[in-house]
């Protein structure tokens, strides 16, 4: 589903991604871990063309994103992204937040978009919040709305960048549960996370990034129980 070849990304003279090679199969859940500043967010943002790639190739479901002729908006509608901070529109209701893009980008009628939006809200456990404004929601509820909003575009891939790290601990579980449900349904997902329990339980594969490269990758049990690279060992010893 996703193939990344020798991806480099520099900001000015600083090279942040130094040659990433990675593959994500359809319906696979790949978790990305690694120290702060190692390039995890930059990598994810390249997959959604939120960053201009310096060199290398990214292919998602047959579309070469790094081809200058690619339709960036078409790519973005196929690759959903959920961030640490949810960026909901404060002056729109929860349902309007979700149905806005399907109406504008996919050309759905308001009633179709609202119907699909309501179904997505039911799915993330917020069926009764359609008509409230984001400010009245908890952080975890806002994040679930943000996930529903991404899903409304029917993406082929979902990217998550530390979706629970800004949440109070007691709100994390509901968001992870929504992500687990998506994984079970077969969504292809790349998840940057500090939730090692999630990575172990839901991840098919774990990538350990450090200093702009993938230092080690393997199944969750390989990475967590038997890491081979000294950097992986040292990182895990600090967080587990
Ligand atoms: P964290 O765990 O703290 O979120 P990360 O692994 O996601 O870290 P990135 O945000 O990808 O790391 O950043 C990697 C490096 O790239 C950092 O040194 C950062 O300062 C640099 N960087 C990221 N975005 C930019 C930018 N727009 N301009 C310049 N440097 C940037
Ligand atoms: Mg980051």
- Residues within 5 Å of ion ligand 2, judged at the Cβ atom: 41
238 is a domain residue: no
Per-residue pLDDT tens for 125-168? 999 999 999 999 999 999 999 999 999 999 999 999 999 999 99
Can you name the residues that pair with 117 across neighbouring β-strands? Answer: none
| Whether the predicted pLDDT of 240 surpasses 80 | no
Distance between alpha carbon 237 and the CA centroid of its chain, in Å?
25
Contacts (Cβ under 8 Å, ≥6 apart) of 28:
1, 188, 189, 204, 205
State residue 73's pLDDT score: 85
Binned at pLDDT 50, 70 and 90, residue 75 comes out as confident
Q: What is the chain's mean pLDDT, rounded?
A: 96
87 is a domain residue: yes
Which residue's CA lies nearest to atom 1 of ligand 1? 36
Atom of ligand 1 nearest to the CA of 45: 11
Atom of ligand 1 nearest to the CA of 42: 11
| Whether the predicted pLDDT of 55 surpasses 90 | yes
Contacts (Cβ under 8 Å, ≥6 apart) of 99:
108, 110, 113, 114, 116, 117, 152
Which residue's CA lies nearest to atom 30 of ligand 1? 11
Atom of ligand 1 nearest to the CA of 209: 6
Q: What is the ipTM of this complex?
A: 0.98
Tell me the average pLDDT across 109-118.
Answer: 98
State residue 42's pLDDT score: 98
The enclosing domain of 217 has a CATH number of 3.40.50.300
State residue 34's pLDDT score: 97
Tell me, in angstroms, the distance from the centre of ligand 2 to residue 151's CA. Answer: 22
196 is a domain residue: no
Number of domains comprising the chain: 1
Secondary structure element (H or E) that encloses residue 119, with its range? helix 110-123
- Burial code of 24-55, b = ≥16 C-beta within 10 A, e = fewer? beeebbbbbbbbeebbbbbbbbbbbbbbebee
Per-residue pLDDT tens for 209-226? 999 999 999 999 999 999
197 is a domain residue: no
> Helix 139-151 crosses helix 94-104 at what angle (to 10 degrees)?
20
Distance between alpha carbon 71 and the CA centroid of its chain, in Å?
20
Binned at pLDDT 50, 70 and 90, residue 239 comes out as confident
Distance between alpha carbon 127 and the CA centroid of its chain, in Å?
23
Determine the Cα angle at 197 with ends 30 and 31, to 5°. Answer: 15
What percent of the chain stands above pLDDT 70?
100
Note whether 60 and 157 are within 8 A (CB).
Answer: yes
State residue 204's pLDDT score: 98
State residue 84's pLDDT score: 92
Binned at pLDDT 50, 70 and 90, residue 238 comes out as very high
Tell me, in angstroms, the distance from the centre of ligand 1 to residue 40's CA. Answer: 8
Token representation of residue 55: 């060199």
Name the residue range of residue 89's domain: 2-38+49-189+205-232
| Pocket of ligand 1 from Cβ distances under 6 Å | 11, 14, 16, 34, 36-42
Say how far apart CA 162 and CA 45 lie, in whole Å.
13
Which residue's CA lies nearest to atom 2 of ligand 1? 36
200 is a domain residue: no
Length of the chain counted residue by residue: 240
194 is a domain residue: no
């Amino acid at each position: 589903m996703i193939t990344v070849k020798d991806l480099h990304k520099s900001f000015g003279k600083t090279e942040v991604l130094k040659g990433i090679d990675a593959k994500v199969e359809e319906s696979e859940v790949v978790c990305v871990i690694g120290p702060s500043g190692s390039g995890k967010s930059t990598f994810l943002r390249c997959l959604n063309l939120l960053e201009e790639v310096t060199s290398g190739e990214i292919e998602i479901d047959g579309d070469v994103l790094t081809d200058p002729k690619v339709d960036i908006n078409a790519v973005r509608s196929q690759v959903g992204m959920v961030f640490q901070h949810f960026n909901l529109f404060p002056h729109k209701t929860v349902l309007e937040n979700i149905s806005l893009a399907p109406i504008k980008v996919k050309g759905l009628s308001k009633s179709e978009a609202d119907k699909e939006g309501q179904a997505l809200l039911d799915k993330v456990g917020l069926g009764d919040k359609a008509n409230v404004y984001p400010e009245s929601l908890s952080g975890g509820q806002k994040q679930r709305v943000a996930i529903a909003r991404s899903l409304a575009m029917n993406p082929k891939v979902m990217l998550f960048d530390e979706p629970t790290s800004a949440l109070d601990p007691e709100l994390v579980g509901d968001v992870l549960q929504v992500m687990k449900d998506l994984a079970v349904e077969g969504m292809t997902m790349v998840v940057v996370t500090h939730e090692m329990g999630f990575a172990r339980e839901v991840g098919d594969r774990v990538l350990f990034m450090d200093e702009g490269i993938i230092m080690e990758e393997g199944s969750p049990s390989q990475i967590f129980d038997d890491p081979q690279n000294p950097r992986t060992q040292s990182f895990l010893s600090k967080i587990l």
